[in-house]
Structure 1
């Protein structure tokens, strides 16, 4: 298991400083968020150089806020594709191991479902082809089962992979799996998984610090310990205290999953 964390957990820190934080806490890798890089107006080549110097492996979470590559509004759809291509350019400059991105969603729930899916498959193929030309490995995130999301379970994702064809992998977000379902079954049944997003969740809230929700973390961590792909600690923290990240790391250390820095 290769432990990464998302740069969104250190939102107020510029990406180069987040690399130093990863080094300080003895974390193997960092999943940079494209919006985080843009927010701090950071130079991707400087980030890449700093990561190489500190021995921190990079992945990238593509832009996702306000985007929808299968929107009924063609202008939104076209701009969303452009923004994902921009993220792929960023991934190429950073030389990341892979880039995770979100699928599109319904503009209006259960309205024009076939048109949405046609646009989703068509535009995902465009993005996959663009990424292949740039040498960027793509991973599609399995989303949570909420209103307007289209791909929320292994069967739907596997069918989508068949429609898109080769060149697309899957990111399983542990917090997105319904609490009554098994994350281990999701992991076993999903095809082409190459990364994991890890946080806790409850019936009231997704993406909680590990140990503060209702997920059976011990069983999924035991299963993930036999894998060799990035396991990315996720969450959003806009403070300077790094409380969310520290809670994640303290849980993993107390459970014996990582050694890391003492006194997190």
Structure 2
């Protein structure tokens, strides 16, 4: 199985360091977030990104994660909706340019902290309809992610994901295990029954924090063998938030954390 990690774990580092982490940690590839600060805040230089990718000879295709900070394709603000869609499209084009296997997108959320209504799902449908011509024209798999349960969240259940996939042969699924585990092991297992999983995000969580170490979450560790049994072949993406660590880590300390997590995960997948 291909083991990947999120570029956002190395939030404070330059692109060369982030891609070098693949070689040093034992990962096969990485998931590149457009919002990775060195890229996002320095002109989004795609040619330089390509140069870095080629320099580091990553053994497996990258994946890409579309921007989500400040963006919401289901916003009640029409300008926010449209710019959110534009960034999703830009992410798909970048993913195609760099030869990525998957581009993960978020469904958005209801702006108010209230349960989603039919209008919110119609806005989600509008986003998917808008990006469909582009998604059908590229080789990269465009995959929508399940969200963690929250009062205003969309796509938190296997049934919702399956419904949104039905009738859209071009659309795939990024399965976030930590989000799903908030609803228990049974529901999380039901997500694995969805046939069009293109990417799996794995991390640990508890009531206080999300996207922590897998090694510190017994439920996440218990679920890992089920991923292997499902026949999924990757990428399995470690989506770690460095702010969940007990202290601030330097680059080599983060490499060691990542190396330990990857080594531990591989033992559960043997």
1:151-190 to 2 correspondences below 5 Å: 151-162=155-166, 165-177=168-180, 178=182, 180-182=184-186, 185-190=189-194
- Partner of residue 76 from structure 2, selected from 72, 78, 90: 72
Could you state the TM-score of these two structures normalised by the residue count of structure 2? 0.85
Bigger Cα displacement from structure 2, 222-231 vs 202-211: 222-231
Unaligned runs of 5+ in 1: 259-264
Q: Of 211, 226, 233, which residue of structure 2 is paired with 1:228?
A: 233
Shift of 1:221: 3.8
2:115 paired with 1:115? no
Choose 15-24 or 95-104, whichever is displaced more.
Answer: 15-24
- The alignment status of 1:95 with 2:94, answered yes or no, reads no
The residue aligned with 2:128 is 124
- Residue-by-residue CA offset, 1:197-234 (whole Å, 9 max, x unaligned): 01111122211112223424144245337421200111
Residue 215 in structure 1 maps to residue 224 in structure 2: no
- CA 1:31–1:173 in 2, change beyond 3 Å: closer, same or farther? same
Distance 1:100 1:87 in 2: 9
Q: Distance in 2 between matches of 1:246 and 1:179?
A: 31
Q: Is the 8 A contact 2:75 2:110 kept in 1?
A: yes
Query: What's the secondary structure of 1:257's corresponding residue?
Result: helix
Cα pair 2:178 2:211 within 8 Å, conserved = yes
Find the aligned partners of 1:240 and 1:180 in 2 and give their Cα distance. 31
TM-score when scaled to structure 1?
0.86
How many angstroms apart in 2 are the aligned matches of 1:32 and 1:145?
A: 25
Count of equivalent residues: 257
Instruction: Answer with 47-56 or 190-199: which moved more.
Output: 47-56
Q: Counterpart of 2:48?
A: 46
CA distance in 2, matches of 1:186, 1:111: 23
In the alignment, what sits opposite 2:142?
138
Tell me the residue number matched to 1:253: 263
Q: Distance in 1 between matches of 2:217 and 2:83?
A: 36
Query: Structure 1 residues 46-55 or 196-205, which shifts more?
Result: 46-55
Aligned CA-pair RMSD: 2.5
Q: Structure 1 residue 241 and structure 2 residue 250: aligned?
A: yes
Contact 2:185 2:219 in 1 (8 A): no
CA contact (8 A) 2:212 2:241 kept: no
Deviates more, 1:154-163 or 1:242-251: 242-251
Q: Is the CA contact (8 Å cut-off) linking 1:34 and 1:63 kept in structure 2?
A: yes
> Distance between the aligned counterparts of 2:224 and 2:265, measured in 1?
13
Task: Indicate how the Cα distance of structure 1 residues 248 and 16 shifts in structure 2: closer, same or farther if over 3 A, else same.
Answer: closer
